[in-house]
Amino acid sequence: MILPDLPVNVLRTLGLFVITAVAEIVGCYLPYLWLREGKTIWLLLPGALSLAAFAWLLSLHPTAAGRVYAAYGGVYIFVAIMWLWWVDGVKPTLWDILGVSVALVGMAIIMFAPRPA
């Protein structure tokens, strides 16, 4: 039966999306530190590795790439707002939370809607 596996699949998908988003954000944040904050150029190496991990992680989803990319965007928005809060020290506004909520609902519809077999 498919229904008993659904929560595990949902948690696995969401967890993979969160890890993927962190890899992408770190891969972009490290060059940002070099370019905008004057940090060492050596940050580009772990940044590149993080972006390579990001691309690999996206390939682990068992559905069509376009659907994965579209749904991933919703989780990316959530992780980016958490990054804003935890790393940048900027508390999300009500509008940030509303936007994240809309994005996550969109992600859930794209990834978890019933589909013909």
- pLDDT score of 5: 57
78: enclosing H helix or E strand: helix 65-86
Tokens of 89: 């020290």
pTM: 0.85
Q: What is the largest CA-CA distance in the chain?
A: 55
Closest CA to 61 of 72, 52, 53: 72
Closest CA to 48 of 58, 38, 56: 56
Q: Give the tens place of pLDDT for each residue, 10-52.
A: 888 899 999 999 999 999 999 999 999 999 999 999 999 999 9
> b vs e for 80-97, b when ≥16 Cβ sit within 10 Å of the residue's Cβ?
bbbbeeeeeeeeeeeebe
- pLDDT score of 11: 86
Task: Give residue 21's Cα distance to chain centre.
Answer: 3
- What's the half-sphere exposure (Cβ side, CA atoms, 13 Å) at 76? 15
DSSP code per residue over 44-64: HHHHHHHHHHHHHHHTT-SS-
Q: Give the tens place of pLDDT for each residue, 49-61.
A: 999 999 999 889 8
Q: What ranges do the domains of the chain cover?
A: 3-112
DSSP structure class, residue 90? -
